[in-house]
Structure 1
Amino acid sequence: MPASESPTGPATIIPDPVTGEHEKNYSSEKHAVDMENVRGTETQYSLDKVGFQWIKSPAKHTSFKDEDEMKKEYYPESVDLIKKVTGASKVVIFDHSNSFRRNNPQTRPPVTQAHVDQTTKASIARVHRHIPADEVPALLKKRFQIINVWRPIQVPALEWPLALCDYRSVDVENDTLPVALVFPDREGETLEVKYNPNHKWKYLRGMTPEEAVIFKCFDSVQDGSVAVFAAHTAFEDPSTPADAPVRQSIELRALVFYD
């Protein structure tokens, strides 16, 4: 459901910390969008070329309900994975989210709003928020990124799969809408994505826990030589079997730095 209308003033979302509902001052429209299943040709897609990359990399840590255990075990192996794929010298995971709907399938499904997690402004703010102040100036002088790692948990992701948009098909100036996220203690900023029939959406049908997708939310290199971000969204796949298991997934968000 790409964002399709702009507000008269600055676009704003105010999340309710209790209910999880969002109050926003703009509206959206649903659009039927072609989603290409790239199973069999997924190796053609790379981070710098399109903004995302699928990899075969089974996680050593497979229990994701214990937060402390996950941070102790899954975070470090994911840092190593990001470094291996990107060649980065420093990776700092600052956030994660998981989807566990097994015990209550009637809860709301994943959000179907095409988006990018951070704007340039928000990405720089993340560095200041999560990195020691004395390290920030030197790190910001070089290339840095925000990269997410998403993978299914326990069962293949047939229900509400994750789709990503080829960066080369996005008109950044006209297709994106900066939106302020207003929390009680801080303000972030995300990019909502407007509908454009030229967008090229891709997904890997039936992703397994042995597979992951790594995608950019920000890249400080913005000279046209590389993809800067990958808009993404969950979507309702009409080919999903009626008896498909409820989707479970884990997503990490990381600051990625280079020498």
Structure 2
Amino acid sequence: MGADHEGTKESDYSAPRAGGKPKEIHTTVRYYGGDRNVPLEPTIIGGPKPSLIRVLMHTNRVSQVGQKGTLGPIYNVHVDQSASAAVPLAHRWLGDEAEELLAKPRFQIINMWRPCKPITRDPFAVTDANTVAESDYIKVPFIYPDRTGACGVIG
């Protein structure tokens, strides 16, 4: 995520070469609503990996205070986590374990999106982070009930 560790060059990693290959998952869930967490993570990850430390669900974007129903798609081009946000995110969600885990040669944040119905409109696209400079994004506040984060959008 920007830093070289133990002789590796960050530029040698890209989504297709470093495990970021999109995977199509078919779910048996007919409808996903409310605050219920459907445990799809083990299926999506594909089983235990020797280097996998933990699967952690950190943001479940289902609804907001005072909003009825589920949230629709975000239509603007954006980045969920920037390279500069990776270490602070690790500290936020891993707590006391963060320093020990971040001292390892590499760490990776993997996003999972789980629509539980067929997508027939609002197409979804993913790109390799190395293809867009962080300076091309505009930092926009993303307000949560207990904190304010940021989302990078292309203006």
Identify whether the pair has TM-score above 0.5, normalized to the shorter chain: yes
TM range (shorter): 0.5 to 0.7
Distance change (3 Å), C-alpha of 1:88 and 1:60: farther
- Give the number of equivalent residue pairs: 136
On the 8 A contact 1:175/1:193 being kept in 2, the answer is yes
Instruction: Give structure 2 stretches of 5+ with no counterpart.
Output: 1-13
Name the Cα RMSD after superposition.
Answer: 3.6
**1:152 alignment partner in structure 2:** 115
- Provide TM-score, normalisation by structure 1: 0.42
Equivalent of 1:59 in 27, 48, 72: 27
Q: Indicate yes or no: 2:150 matched with 1:163.
A: no
Matches within 5 A, 1:1-259: 47-49=15-17, 52-68=20-36, 70=37, 74-75=38-39, 77-79=40-42, 81-82=44-45, 84=47, 88-98=52-62, 110-133=73-96, 135-142=97-104, 143-154=106-117, 156-170=118-132, 172-183=133-144, 185-194=146-155
1:109–1:185 Cα change, 3 Å: closer
Paired position in structure 2 for 1:246:
none
Per chain length, whose mean CA-contact separation is higher, i.e. which structure has more relative contact order (CA < 8 Å, sep 6+)?
1
Q: Given residue 33 of structure 2, which amino acid in structure 1 is its aligned partner?
A: K
CA distance, structure 2, for counterparts of residue 121 and residue 166 of structure 1: 16
For normalisation by structure 2, the TM-score amounts to 0.63
User: Is the alpha carbon distance of 1:184 and 1:78 closer, same or farther for their aligned partners in structure 2, counting shifts above 3 Å?
Assistant: closer
Kept after mapping to 2: 8 A contact 1:109/1:160: no
If each structure's strand is expressed as a fraction of its own residues, which one has the higher value? 1
Structure 1, gaps ≥5 residues long:
1-45, 195-259
- Aligned partner of 2:25: which letter? S
Partner of 2:4: none
Post-superposition offset of 1:52? 4.5
Larger Rg: 1
Distance 1:157 1:113, change over 3 A: same
